Amino acid sequence: MKIVASHQPHFNPYLGYFAKMKASDTFIISDDVQFVKNGFMHRNKIRSWQRVDGWRWLTMPVTYHSDSLVKNVRLAQGAHLDKLLNIVRHEYQTAPHFLQTYAYLEALKEDRQSLSFLYFSFLSLGIFGYLMGMIPSVRLASSLGNDWQRGDKNGRLIALTRAVGGDAYLAGAEAARVYLDPKRFADAGITLLTMEYLNPEYPQVHGGFMPKMGIIDALMNTGNDARRLLSAEHYRITEMRP
């Protein structure tokens, strides 16, 4: 069985994103879909010692239009990483693995005013994937053709799976329940799998544990031990039947 998964590119995605990437044989970056304002593509949560709720958004400013596809989104003018890195330093300088993780984040600090968000997210995913011990097989959706009707989410995923020679598609459990049709996949000869990531606890600075923080939080707090958070015991994969 060749398992295919797909997702929009994310900056600082949560651990479940990497678990799905690790469990797939080919991971497709969905750069040909519409960019969603205030979603998780260009921002995610980190822990915070000064916020009442114990967390805050870490956001990469971007420039886009209401109908922009992900591949056409660019970093906002002057969107250097200095401000983001200052926020990370402020919140995590007491974390056990701050120096190691921060050094890798600084590798993204070059002047990237004219860079596309897609390329920047590739760079960050490459760094985070390396730190998590992963070398995934990644493809861009836009390079695989568009053999489906616009707006047909099931048809799009079936076509992408076929385009890379897959016979199984792995989706997040919540997304699968909302918009995927198991019969469409079965009729296409593709096994529909769903993953539920169990958000295992790990030590966090600032007290207590909050799930679904961005990957930066896990790396700051656990370093190389973050890799164990992607082991099979921390997620459930089930087949979704018609």
- The CA distance from 192 to 64, in Å, is 33
Residue 142: per-residue pLDDT: 93
- The CA distance from 191 to 184, in Å, is 10
Residue 173: per-residue pLDDT: 92
Contact 213, 200 (CB under 8 A): no
Residue 135: per-residue pLDDT: 83
Residue 78: per-residue pLDDT: 67
Residue 108: per-residue pLDDT: 80
Residue 205: per-residue pLDDT: 94
H or E segment to which residue 163 belongs: helix 153-163
Residue 145: per-residue pLDDT: 81
Contact 197, 19 (CB under 8 A): yes
Q: How far is CA 84 from the centre of its chain?
A: 18
Which class for 44: exposed (0-12), middle (13-18), buried (19 or more C-beta within 10 A)?
buried
Cβ neighbour number for residue 97 with a 10 Å cutoff = 18
| pLDDT (tens place) for every residue of the chain, 242 residues total | 999 999 999 999 999 999 999 999 999 999 999 998 889 999 999 999 989 899 999 999 898 888 899 999 998 876 667 889 999 999 999 999 999 999 999 888 765 545 889 988 988 999 999 999 998 889 999 999 877 777 789 999 999 999 999 999 999 998 898 999 999 999 999 999 999 999 999 999 998 999 999 999 999 999 999 999 999 999 999 999 98
- End-to-end, the C-alpha distance of the chain in Å comes to 19
* Those residues with Cβ within 8 angstroms of residue 189's Cβ, 6 or more apart along the chain or in another chain: 167
Contact 77, 62 (CB under 8 A): no
> CA torsion sign, 219 to 76 to 107 to 21?
positive
* Rg of the chain over all Cα atoms, to the nearest angstrom: 18
What is the pTM (predicted TM-score) of this model? 0.93
Structure-token pair, residue 5: 């998964």
Half-sphere exposure of 123 (CA within 13 A, CB side): 14
- The CA distance from 128 to 121, in Å, is 10
- The CA distance from 54 to 44, in Å, is 14
Length of the chain measured in residues: 242
Which class for 233: exposed (0-12), middle (13-18), buried (19 or more C-beta within 10 A)?
exposed
